[in-house]
Amino acid sequence: KMPDFNQLSTPQLQQIKVDLFDRYNEIKSRGIALDITRGKPCPEQLDLSIEMLYIINSRNYLTADAVDCRNYGGLDGIPETKELFAQYLEVTPEEIIIGGNSSLNMMHDAFMRAMVKGITEDSPPWGKLPQVKFLCPSPGYDRHFFICDHLDIEMITVNMNDTGPDMDQVEALVADDEGVKGIWCVPRYSNPTGVVYSDEVVERLAAMKTKTNDFRIFWDNAYAVHHLDDKPARLKNILATCKQAGNPERVFIFGSTSKITFAGSGVDMMAGSAENMAMTKKQMAFQTIGPDKLNQLRHVTFFKNVAGIEDHMKKHADILKPKFEAVQNALDKDLAGKNIAEWSRPRGGYFVSIDTMEGCAAAVVQMAAEAGVKLTPAGSTFPYLRDPFDRNIRIAPSFPPLEEIETAIQLVAICIQLVSIEKIMTM
Ligand code: PMP
């Protein structure tokens, strides 16, 4: 069993430090340049969808209803793609819009419309209010926070628990402050913690009393089918739950196939009540004549149905699982029992989240960078890039080859130990 570092004497720690520095310098001397900063699919994953590059061709460009996908039209997507992804997000075709290639783009646009025109016909534009605030369960997705920051929306950090955001905090904040207009959620395999929202959290989000009546849950279901386990985690249907609670308009759902087919060349989707979708389409009509229907046709032709998506995701899991296991093995081997770090064991999604001792994350990231391993900047998983405890590190193991992941995580584990020893010795 590994010794708890906090229980060791200074000479013992000194000796461990010397050995760790030897390992650190050995890896550094290899002159590596590894990058585990972003959740990008690796080339083998992209190859799984390569057929998509030739299934749309001079003989195949019409929808089932003989709409010519080469031409303008169809603001909210072609019927068969709407049908497929409505099932995927567990809504009806009237409750979904299939757009372009990036759900982040759709979320950003939803914010912009709210800022300039308001969420409903009769609610004020957020931009006209003295201060709009958003709840940000953290650690969370940095690009969500960047949208808020960019639009001067005040971010309120809410703790992430093992079953989703701390709902006591959320309920208290929304009950009391008219300026709190929404919350960011990545409900199944959250970025970066891998958390899956429990039924109770979904129910409380749907039913809670909000002071303002244009409150919206931004339900970013980016990793809905991105399971690593054979037994996928369940997630309660948020739109159905909102309807049952008498708040059918409360949620905007988002998703994309960026990590199913091609990142950056997938299809994005937004879903919600028929009323919300009607309002959204009305505003979108000023923005575009219609989306890339050829790409939408390409996606339905390739998958055919939801079972087709699920089969395809098993192939992704086969590629990703060994990489996630390599991360766990390296962390277990080097850190378990030492009482200096905790980390997630995600059952899906794209990330592993590590919590070091307080005040260590930035130093670990810096030290890893000096030996050639680039990590997401410390603080990125919190609003304003400020981790209040300087503790969280996000690992994205999907892109690099397995051997590189192994080296990178070994180095991260060495840096965590060195920085922790330094901290313990000065405590
Ligand atoms: N949401 C989350 C939670 C993500 O992790 C990512 C990708 N890193 C995105 C959205 C971006 O999705 P898209 O490619 O559809 O814009």
130-142 pLDDT per residue, tens: 999 999 999 999 9
16: CA distance to ligand 1 center in Å? 40
Q: Give the long-range contacts of residues 42-47, CB within 8 A, separation 24 or more.
A: 42/319, 42/398, 42/399, 42/400, 42/401, 44/319, 45/259, 45/316, 45/319, 45/320, 45/398, 46/262, 46/263
CB of 232 closer than 8 Å to CB of 348: yes
Please check the confidence at residue 390 and state whether its pLDDT lies above 80.
Answer: yes
Q: What is the pLDDT of residue 201?
A: 98
Residue 50 makes CB contacts below 8 A (sequence gap 6+) with none
| CA–CA separation, 111 and 114 (whole Å) | 5
pLDDT band at 1 (very low <50, low <70, confident <90, very high): low
Residue 352 phi/psi, 5-degree rounding, is: -120, 135
201-243 pLDDT per residue, tens: 999 999 999 999 999 999 999 999 999 988 899 999 999 999 9
Question: 105, 109, 196, 220: which to mutate for ligand 1, most atoms within 8 A of CB?
Answer: 220
221 lines ligand 1 (CB under 6 A): no
Q: Give the long-range contacts of residues 106-110, CB within 8 A, separation 24 or more.
A: 106/254, 106/268, 106/269, 106/270, 107/144, 107/147, 107/218, 107/220, 107/254, 108/147, 109/284, 109/287, 110/218, 110/252, 110/270, 110/280
142 lines ligand 1 (CB under 6 A): no
What is the residue type of 384? Y
351 lines ligand 1 (CB under 6 A): no
| CA–CA separation, 145 and 379 (whole Å) | 12
88: CA distance to ligand 1 center in Å? 17
Please check the confidence at residue 2 and state whether its pLDDT lies above 90.
Answer: no
First to last CA, the chain: 24
Nearest Cα to Cα of residue 363 among 340, 331, 346: 340
CB of 197 closer than 8 Å to CB of 170: no
102 lines ligand 1 (CB under 6 A): yes
49 lines ligand 1 (CB under 6 A): no
Give yes or no for a cis peptide into 346 (omega within 30° of 0). no
Write b or e for each residue in 376-394: b if 16 or more Cβ atoms lie within 10 A of its Cβ, otherwise e: bbbbbbbbeeebeebbbbb
Closest C-alpha to ligand 1, atom 11? 104
Question: 142, 190, 191: which to mutate for ligand 1, most atoms within 8 A of CB?
Answer: 191
396: CA distance to ligand 1 center in Å? 13
Q: Summarize the confidence of residues 365-386 as an average pLDDT.
A: 97
Instruction: Looking at 163-292, list the stretches that DSSP marks H as alpha helix, in order from N- to C-terminal side.
Output: 167-176, 199-207, 238-244, 274-284
Q: Over the chain, what is the mean pLDDT?
A: 97
146: CA distance to ligand 1 center in Å? 13
> Does residue 121 come out as left (phi exceeding 0), alpha (psi in the -120 to 50 range) or beta?
alpha
Q: Summarize the confidence of residues 325-345 as an average pLDDT.
A: 97
* Sheet with 180-185, edge to edge strand ranges: 96-98, 268-271, 251-256, 216-220, 180-185, 133-138, 154-161, 164-165
103 lines ligand 1 (CB under 6 A): yes
185 lines ligand 1 (CB under 6 A): no
138 lines ligand 1 (CB under 6 A): no
254 lines ligand 1 (CB under 6 A): no
pLDDT band at 427 (very low <50, low <70, confident <90, very high): confident
What is the residue type of 282? K
CB of 145 closer than 8 Å to CB of 105: no
222: CA distance to ligand 1 center in Å? 6
Quote the DSSP letter at residue 158.
E
What angle separates helix 402-425 from helix 361-370, to the nearest 10 degrees? 130
Q: Tell if the pTM clears 0.95, that is, is over it.
A: yes
* Sheet with 352-356, edge to edge strand ranges: 341-343, 352-356, 392-395
The H or E element spanning position 296 is: helix 293-303
193 lines ligand 1 (CB under 6 A): no
| CA–CA separation, 186 and 206 (whole Å) | 15
Q: Summarize the confidence of residues 25-34 as an average pLDDT.
A: 96
CA 103 to ligand 1: nearest atom: 15
pLDDT band at 35 (very low <50, low <70, confident <90, very high): very high
Residue 216 phi/psi, 5-degree rounding, is: -130, 135
CA 101 to ligand 1: nearest atom: 15
Please check the confidence at residue 360 and state whether its pLDDT lies above 70.
Answer: yes
51: CA distance to ligand 1 center in Å? 23
Q: What is the pLDDT of residue 313?
A: 98
| CA–CA separation, 5 and 9 (whole Å) | 9
11: CA distance to ligand 1 center in Å? 47
